A and B are shown apart, each in its own frame.
Chain A
């Protein structure tokens, strides 16, 4: 019996990454110096990222697709993984959890995200999602001797399992209705059978929305985020706030735009209140936070609300603006965490807002970098954050959602309060005690890259915008 091997070319980056993650796991046994494992992980990831350039096409009978859209997201994941490792090296030593499996877990989680971005079948999607999620649960609880960290991992796991239930429920309804899990076939089935008003279909979409909303931390499925972000190791918080969120958006974009293209209006109507609620909860609750990690957790919730505007438009302009937004968010958010990580040193947590008092006087460079990231998160030109918001808002206005943009702008104005409060603490107050900074070459490198990206994209946005647009061709 002839059993032909499927075309492995489109899935090559994932195969290489899997092999590499396993190698890293083995190397951990051989290499004593964990910093070396980190450097190897970065180098290997960087080399494998080159394989993205050549892989296009679909394979495994259409279950898996490598196109511009997936490549764009995979670039975000690669940036995320490299920057996360850069900021981790010194940090996990300070936290006394310098174990090698840390790096392979990050790599496995990233493979999960890559599979999500490329999934053109609901089953593949579920596979990637669980791989990503399971690795991140472990990472969240990585500081074993810290109760908060283990607690956050457990919460994340329990609620994550709950959300997986919704996802599988949704998938099974779709399968029951259409007899397939292939996204394109679902779309064809819906149009051919005129299922667009079907209540069961909408119910399935609702269930999927819950599951995906959990991944991107959209309200009211966001409640895990503040606890987990605060409890998890700071480097993993940075990792989680970018990677899984971007993967979640990648999945929403592909599933909703392709499989449920016929019922655009319906899922847009579901997403609008979620987006408003997400912006409201994120921005308003962030106001009363005094822990900066927790504050950034709410900020991350709020940013998911803005990015949802791009999905709600349900056209390619909106999707590409959402992609821009996530690309920019990766840099500005990890940059902010890279500054936060510097304040953590032996015996000092450095997570409280009051730790930032007078930072401009004690550590002017760190304060200046934090200022740039806070400006960018607020959306002040000429930083990248402004560009991200501008294009998302513009897309929403062009799609006729002017009122929604007004709401978003109001919440954005509220957000200025808590972002600029950090700046105010750093620049307007006198330092109480001089905190030591934990500096390292790799963290400095991450800061240099993120700062440069935030400013360069802010001043020369057209390249990124064109890139995102081009990536959507043939989507």
Chain B
């Protein structure tokens, strides 16, 4: 691979969205207002064009590793902006800019008439900038900057409807949960610097073998250095990519507007963790423990999130759990050494998951509720949304020939064929996941688009009203996830207000056209990675090989066929069972949930993880904060210090000030005293 100079269009990729952000945040309130999308969309579209040009460079075998700007240099410690553009970055650039462009366009329709229109687009642009800085950086510090930047934007956008308590709480939750992960990540970056004396990827990865087998004293334990660094970095990935045990923020994050869920909480930001692991693969490869941890955490998240998804009723939460689950697949792949397969799934997932979210947004836009119990029969009202939803569902479920099929099959096969000591274990879980994904996705589709229309918002309000009179608090968990977009629709055009009269209707073209483009991606994006077994060349894996290498498999073609047929059959069974339960025997789900009410309740309440955290972490922390910190430490010690020190300094200040008498010979005396002090010092020292 040849090196290449940094070109202007490489630099424009992140900075165009930044420009859009600056224009809208400064001029949004007075000038751009409801034209904010012109700057926002054109800047992101420009990034996309530049990303295509960049992809061409990379396809031509060029690699760019250049420092654009250095802020501070101190010895080997450098703070600045630099870009590393290699195949991995190129893939991420295409994913981020394509999804961002389509979602920006979609948001024009979805956010139409919202009072914070310019603010929304400004944050969305800022997010895109941070995400691009994250994937393009050539050093850990820039990665960290982008990492915190996307986290901040995510916080802004989850709490976009900040008047709504649940949205503000969800934003806070996402931020706090991520702090746990980022704490480890930050220490990890420090460890990298302490170990290698530099933060540049190229220098770190070139010397990575020098730390193999070294141990270090960490909190009194003698631990393997590569394992320690890899696991600390992985902490950040667990938080950002919503893996067990830090997955709890993602479902709540659905409080944000749907385009945000699609862009940040499905296609791009949450995949940053996978990118991190793939980028740092030279470090992870040194530690079997770290690799197995990644694989097992991924597999467990994939399995548990999928099982939760089958019982949920909030359309966006179902997709959110599905996202958790698919991110688990990606980590599973990375954990068994098949980084290319993980990134491949990241790439296909971006398309079908963004599509699922945006289509769900289109549905919510029409029925003004998130609860699938009050949807149904939308097929005839919203044909385009229906069509793309099915395409996305099939792709997500791994239906042969679609994008999702190739990437998921690659992962399942890699898990089976790898030398990883946990390979077979995660393989079993991956197969189980292959059953659940089509099952819950099509449960969602059947409940939403088939059957009779069950009344939308009006019906839901009636139901919650009736509910709240009998047992008020038992069901609040499923009504908390509503997109407030539908409510308070006074700001909406008059066409949306009168939905009660003539039922839901299809969304405008500004929303459906981006859906169609994403649908093309959901079908065809995976065709670049068709395995040789099916007559393809797996170009995707070859493309990434210089960065992430290629795992060595020793398995026969027959086995590969067998695994593929097995996983496909399982997926089709899942789909079929879903059809059977939700189309044919529609009373069956109810009966099953009654029969296995304990299991159902556990799944419905997401294994009570939130409750567990509430009991073990949140409540004790609050109690500690209230009783000890506020009551004692805060009132006595902290306030004592916080008020006392300034008071003391203030008193001191007043006293010292009085020395300034304004009389010249007093000043001369002080000078003389100073001279005497210096002389005394000299005599004392010599």
Contact = CB atoms under 8 A, between A and B. Distances in A.
A417 interface: yes
Interface in A346-388: 387
A203 interface: yes
Q: Interface of chain B, helix or strand or loop or mixed?
A: helix
Interface of A: 154-155, 158-159, 162-163, 166, 197, 199, 202-203, 205-207, 209-210, 213-214, 219-221, 223-224, 226-227, 266, 269-270, 273-274, 281, 284-285, 287-289, 387, 390, 394, 414, 417, 459-462, 465
Contacts of A274: 678
B661 to A, nearest CB: 9
Given A210-B678, A227-B662, A287 B653 contact: yes
Nearest to A206: B678
Interface stretch (B87-95, B182-190, B460-468, B665-673): B665-673
Contact of B671 (A221, A269, A288): A221
B8 interface: no
Contacts of A158: 664, 668
Given A166-B675, A285-B656, 20 more contacts: A162-B668, A202-B682, A203-B679, A205-B682, A206-B682, A209-B678, A220-B671, A221-B674, A270-B682, A273-B677, A284-B653, A285-B653, A287-B650, A288-B650, A288-B654, A459-B71, A460-B69, A461-B71, A462-B72, A462-B73
Given A220-B671, A221-B674, A462-B70, A226 B649 contact: no
25 contacts: A162-B671, A199-B683, A202-B682, A202-B686, A203-B679, A203-B682, A205-B682, A213-B674, A214-B671, A220-B670, A220-B671, A223-B660, A223-B666, A266-B686, A273-B677, A274-B678, A285-B653, A287-B649, A287-B650, A288-B650, A288-B657, A394-B74, A414-B649, A460-B71, A462-B72
Interface in B638-669: 646, 649-650, 652-654, 656-657, 659-660, 662, 664, 666-668
Given A207-B675, A414-B649, A154 B682 contact: no
B667 A223 contact: yes
A284 B653 CA distance: 5
A285 B656 CA distance: 7
Contacts of A287: 649-650, 653
B194 interface: no
Nearest to B70: A462
A284 B649 contact: yes
Interface of B: 69-74, 646, 649-650, 652-654, 656-657, 659-660, 662, 664, 666-668, 670-671, 673-675, 677-679, 681-683, 685-686
A215 B369 CA distance: 74
Nearest to B683: A199
Contacts of A266: 682, 685-686
Q: Interface of chain A, helix or strand or loop or mixed?
A: helix
A296 to B, nearest CB: 15
Contacts of A465: 73
Given A227-B660, A462-B73, A210 B674 contact: yes
Given A206-B678, A206-B682, A210-B678, A220 B653 contact: no
Contacts of A270: 678, 681-682
Pick from B72, B652, B662 the residue with the most CB of A within 10 Å: B72
A224 B661 CA distance: 11
A220 B660 contact: no
B22 to A, nearest CB: 15
Given A206-B682, A288-B653, A417 B71 contact: no
B646 A417 contact: yes
A19 B668 CA distance: 36
B653 A226 contact: no
A155 B661 CA distance: 12
A269 B70 contact: no
Nearest to B661: A223
Contacts of A459: 71
B73 A199 contact: no
B382 to A, nearest CB: 49
A35 to B, nearest CB: 35
A394 B681 CA distance: 27
A223 B664 CA distance: 9
Given A159-B667, A285-B656, A269 B649 contact: no
Contacts of A223: 659-660, 666-667, 670-671
A318 B662 CA distance: 35
Nearest to A387: B72
A284 B667 CA distance: 18
Contacts of A462: 70-73
A163 B70 contact: no
Contacts of A214: 671
A290 to B, nearest CB: 11
Nearest to A286: B653
A196 B640 CA distance: 49
Given A159-B664, A202-B682, A223-B667, A390 B675 contact: no
B660 A226 contact: yes
A269 B664 contact: no
Pick from B71, B646, B666 the residue with the most CB of A within 10 Å: B71
A278 B667 CA distance: 15
A221 B667 CA distance: 8
A387 B70 CA distance: 13
Contacts of A288: 650, 653-654, 657
A212 to B, nearest CB: 12
A227 B668 CA distance: 14
Nearest to B685: A269
A214 B69 CA distance: 41
A154 B662 CA distance: 12
A298 to B, nearest CB: 9
Contacts of A226: 660
Contacts of A269: 681, 685
B685 A210 contact: no
Contact of B652 (A163, A284, A394): A284
A384 to B, nearest CB: 12
B686 A210 contact: no
Contacts of B664: 154-155, 158-159
Given A210-B674, A220-B671, A221-B671, A281 B656 contact: yes
B671 A210 contact: yes
A17 to B, nearest CB: 31
Nearest to A154: B664
A-B pairs, top 9 by smallest CB distance, nearest first, are: A223-B667, A220-B674, A206-B678, A288-B653, A202-B682, A287-B653, A155-B664, A210-B675, A220-B670
Contacts of B649: 284, 287, 414
A274 B69 CA distance: 38
A227 B667 CA distance: 11
Contact of B657 (A199, A213, A285, A390): A285
A166 B653 CA distance: 29
Nearest to B678: A206
Nearest to A169: B675
Contacts of A224: 667
B682 A199 contact: yes
